[in-house]
Amino acid sequence: MRNFKDKILTKDAMIAERARLRADGRKVVFTNGCFDILHCGHVTYLNFAREQGDALVLGLNSDASVKRNKGDGRPVNGEQDRAEVLASLECVDYVVLFDEDEPAMLIGALLPDVLVKGDDWAHYVSGREAVEAAGGKVVLAKMVAGRSTTGTIEKILKVYGERNEH
């Protein structure tokens, strides 16, 4: 069994691995996100993404990227912790951190066969043009209603706030 920490690769190492996977004829799937507090919606989404091909590459927003996208106070969990939790999931084959606000450059470098994004992003899928121009496809995943990191944080703050008021 592969050590989950070995699934966390640099961009350059993932580009080399992508070439190997392509040579082996394996269908590579890419998705991305912050995955700050892992919940059932994330796990359902990642398993769906993995079902679209032979190997799932997860582009993970760095701490700086999450902060720019989500604001101060985020991420709750640091990038190394998030990467290791995600890498420990059976459905995730590789985790690659990226520092940009969106993963278009990473996607363009890897050119996955399938790009998966939640249907809440149907209006804009970063990297779509590069993937489709290379003959790949974009698949939108249905989101699990009522499951979000923001909702989880709000629930924690409500419970924590109520305890401190007494």
Q: Which of 98, 91, 4, 1 is nearest to 45 (CA)?
A: 91
pLDDT of res. 159: 81
Q: What is the spatial distance between Cα 40 and Cα 19, in angstroms, rounded to a whole number?
A: 32
pLDDT of res. 122: 84
pTM of the model: 0.89
pLDDT of res. 46: 98
All structural domains of the chain: 4-164 (3.40.50.620)
Residues 73, 109: contact at Cβ < 8 Å?
no
Low pLDDT (below 50) residues in the chain: none
pLDDT of res. 163: 60
pLDDT tens for residues 1-26? 689 999 999 999 999 999 999 999 99
pLDDT of res. 87: 98
> Tokens standing for 30?
């890419």
